[in-house]
Amino acid sequence: MPPAEILIARSSIAARVRALASALSTAYASTAQPPVLISVLQGSALFTADLMRSIAIDMAVDFISISSYAHSGSHSGVVKIVKDVEIDLSDRDVVIVEDIVDTGLTLNYLRRSLTERGPHSLRTITLLDKTVRRLVPVPVEFVGFEIPDVFVVGYGLDFQGRYRNVGDILVVRDLARLVNEPDLLVGSLWPRRGQRRQPT
């Protein structure tokens, strides 16, 4: 049995991202100023890039980076901004771009922090939503896929900084095993390092 299997194939992701981009283009077609997408690094980098390319209206993008998620399963809710946005958000229509909303603690913190900057509106788009894991109620206006309580990697989502460059979203069968063997998925995804041809 492979250690991970495809939960959402790249073709389904691409189709859903195009539909989300179309929904955003319609929702923000007549705002006073172009909307500002705020991409939450690192996980939503791929999603943001693909989404932006399909958005058919004028828009701006900025990036925010917050302290990383504890993979232990417990989550204190204490989140720290390590790289802040540079655009002045006052009176702007702001869209937070998330890779995944899990307990909701990160998004709840982000929403509070961004609300303090006086945006005209603040909404969230997430590629994945694990609603069954929610600890705090938090509004999420645009959702790509609702997924069950599983651990996923790929399409920007990582395990300890790995596997972000997988094009599909994979579900990890045995997270405890991956914790002990972080290389676990490499063999089934890519040729072994030792078998790679040397560049000439």
| Smallest distance, ligand IMP to C-beta of residue 194, A | 28
Task: Report if residue 144 touches ligand IMP, rule: CB under 6 A.
Answer: no
Which residue among 4, 27, 43, 110 contacts ligand IMP (CB under 6 A)? 43
Q: What distances in angstroms separate CA 13 from CA 8, 20, 51, 66, 144, one per listed residue?
A: 7, 10, 11, 25, 8
Residue in the structure block whose two tokens are 């495809």:
6
| Smallest distance, ligand IMP to C-beta of residue 113, A | 13
Task: Report if residue 101 touches ligand IMP, rule: CB under 6 A.
Answer: yes
72: how many CB neighbours lie within 10 A of its CB? 7
Task: Report if residue 157 touches ligand IMP, rule: CB under 6 A.
Answer: yes
Binding span for ligand IMP by CB under 6 A among 46-54, 93-101, 162-170, 182-190: 93-101
**Is the backbone of residue 190 left (phi > 0), alpha (psi -120 to 50) or beta?**
beta
**Range 11-40, binding ligand IMP (CB under 6 A):** none
CA distance 144 to 122: 18
Complex with ligand IMP: residue 38 or 101, whichever CB lies closer: 101
**Range 105-124, binding ligand IMP (CB under 6 A):** 105-107
Closest among 181, 170, 179, 169 to 71, alpha carbons compared: 179
CA distance 61 to 165: 22
Complex with ligand IMP: residue 69 or 145, whichever CB lies closer: 69
For the annotated catalytic residues, the residue numbers are 102
